[in-house]
Amino acid sequence: MIGMPGFVGDVVRSVGLSTAMKAAGVVTGLVPIPQPMLLVGPHASARLGQALAGFGHRRILIVTDSQIVKLGLLKGLTAALRAAGTQFVVFDAVTADAPIPVVEKGIAFFQRRGCDAIVAFGGGSPMDAAKVIAYAVANRKPPRKLVGYFKGLRAPVPVYAVPTTAGTGSEVTVAAVISDPDAGQKLVIADSRLVPVMAALDPSLMVGLPPMVTAATGMDALTHAVEAFIGQWATDYTDRMALAAVGLVFANLRTAHKEGRNLEARERMALAATYAGLAFTRANVGYVHAIAHQLGGKYHVPHGLANAILLPHVLHAMAPAVTKRLALLAVAAKAGAPGERPAALAKKFIAAVEKLDRDLRIPRVVDALREADIPALAKAACWEADTNYPVPKYLSQADCEKLIRKVLPAARGR
């Protein structure tokens, strides 16, 4: 649809695709999405290890990154597995954006070591890598052959999750995002069976996160909740989850950022990420993610950071189509009171997001972004949004380019 010229293309995209997305939402709403059993609280990762010991797995593969191992964050889980006599091996080679070559190494490691289950332990990249490894080994397909929706006939081997950041919500979602470093692209693999069987939300693992990581991942959770709430696939259930997540983020993210060892704030942010994950895994996301994926693929901008930078700009662009929804978000964020005019509340919510970004010291621009790249980035982002996301309002490529220019380094002083 991007290639269609001028007015005709805009009409088809704004009317035809919107109608198609609504129909797809009806179908999607009928797809059963499992929810993992959640263990919540300090040392929940050790309790997960104790639970796994009773599941009869032959050998468990723990998928993580080298920094997690160096920090000793695996100790609670692995001590519990050892105490129960459960065999496990660790694959700690995952790097940022879960590159396909690294995922392929993980697949080979799983098969070579005779594993039959996986624990995803870490932030978004280990989570996504673990899901794809589980899906690939079950279906005997390379990752590239699984890109898209429901490309595997068989369910993945069991995946259990221990998130170490409060942002991605991957412990409850149906998707995994990996990267193709040769093409400079991020690729989505989705299947409702990718949802982990059980997850441990352990705030004691998050107390050492640097403030900027806390900020970016927390804004990632907020973006998930907001885009799920304003999209066309929102339901009563996803609304409850999204509003709860927004309330928790605004009440706790500043504290978690400033007081890194505050377990209560960390736990509530972990719950916010999970609630937001439950919302967007059913209601999907929008232009923030569509653009952020391009920035991540091209420049390796961390996903949560890209979302944080872009969210206010996308909300300004979407605001005319979702004023009443933004007003409800303002009340959830305590940025306004029930009974105020929706238009005023909508402005207050966007202003609250902008202030949260400032308080968390989120950069205003993407330093790596170059003007010459913007047309291609916008084209790819529009295609991703048009064909995948139930956005409330479709942007033309020119409008998307204009939005991306707002985060050019030259825009820093505006």
Instruction: Kindly report, residue by residue over 216-226, the tens digit of the pLDDT.
Output: 999 999 999 99
Q: Is the pLDDT of residue 345 over 70?
A: yes
> Are 407 and 288 found together in one domain?
yes
Question: Of the candidates 205, 237, 262, which is a domain's last residue?
Answer: 205
Instruction: Kindly report, residue by residue over 349-375, the tens digit of the pLDDT.
Output: 999 999 999 999 999 999 999 999 999
> Are 25 and 69 found together in one domain?
no
Note the pLDDT of residue 221: 98
Q: What is the chain's mean pLDDT, rounded?
A: 92
CA 313 to chain centre: 19
Instruction: Kindly report, residue by residue over 304-319, the tens digit of the pLDDT.
Output: 999 999 999 999 999 9
> Are 351 and 335 found together in one domain?
yes
Domain annotation covers residue 399: yes
> Are 115 and 256 found together in one domain?
no
Note the pLDDT of residue 17: 54
Q: Is the pLDDT of residue 63 over 60?
A: yes
> Are 362 and 268 found together in one domain?
yes
Q: Is the pLDDT of residue 13 over 80?
A: no
Angle between helix 75-83 and 44-52 (nearest 10):
30
How many other CB atoms are found less than 10 A from the CB of residue 413?
7
Among 221, 281, 301, CA closest to 257: 221
Q: Is the pLDDT of residue 3 over 60?
A: no
> Are 108 and 72 found together in one domain?
yes
Query: What's 55's domain CATH number?
Result: 3.40.50.1970
2 band by pLDDT with thresholds 50, 70 and 90? very low
Domain annotation covers residue 106: yes
Compute the distance between CA of residue 73 and CA of residue 208 in angstroms, rounded to an integer: 10
Query: What's 14's domain CATH number?
Result: 1.20.1090.10
32 band by pLDDT with thresholds 50, 70 and 90? confident
Quote the number of domains for the chain. Answer: 2
> Are 122 and 193 found together in one domain?
yes
> Are 49 and 194 found together in one domain?
yes
Instruction: Kindly report, residue by residue over 366-414, the tens digit of the pLDDT.
Output: 999 999 999 999 999 999 999 889 999 999 999 999 999 999 998 665 5
pTM given for the model: 0.91
Domain annotation covers residue 111: yes
Report in angstroms the alpha-carbon separations of 153 from 130, 138, 161, 383: 18, 9, 23, 27
Please say whether the beta carbons of 37 and 198 come within 8 A.
yes
Domain region containing 88: 37-205
> Are 278 and 163 found together in one domain?
no
> Are 285 and 389 found together in one domain?
yes
Domain annotation covers residue 1: no
Please say whether the beta carbons of 124 and 168 come within 8 A.
yes
Instruction: Kindly report, residue by residue over 266-306, the tens digit of the pLDDT.
Output: 999 999 999 999 999 999 999 999 999 999 999 999 999 99
The residues, ordered by sequence, that sit 6+ positions from 79 with a Cβ below 8 Å of its Cβ are 46, 49
> Are 130 and 181 found together in one domain?
yes
Note the pLDDT of residue 52: 96
Instruction: Kindly report, residue by residue over 112-122, the tens digit of the pLDDT.
Output: 999 999 999 99
Nearest 5°: phi and psi at 284?
A: 75, -175
Instruction: Report residue 59 as tokens.
Output: 């050998």
Q: Is the pLDDT of residue 126 over 50?
A: yes
Q: Which residue has the higher pLDDT, 371 or 32?
A: 371
Note the pLDDT of residue 413: 58
Question: Of the candidates 154, 185, 205, which is a domain's last residue?
Answer: 205
Question: Of the candidates 154, 171, 205, which is a domain's last residue?
Answer: 205
Domain annotation covers residue 52: yes
Instruction: Kindly report, residue by residue over 228-252, the tens digit of the pLDDT.
Output: 999 999 999 999 999 999 999 999 9
Note the pLDDT of residue 410: 85
Note the pLDDT of residue 4: 31
Q: Is the pLDDT of residue 15 over 60?
A: no
Q: Is the pLDDT of residue 10 over 50?
A: no
> Are 168 and 148 found together in one domain?
yes
Residue for token digits 């048009």? 386
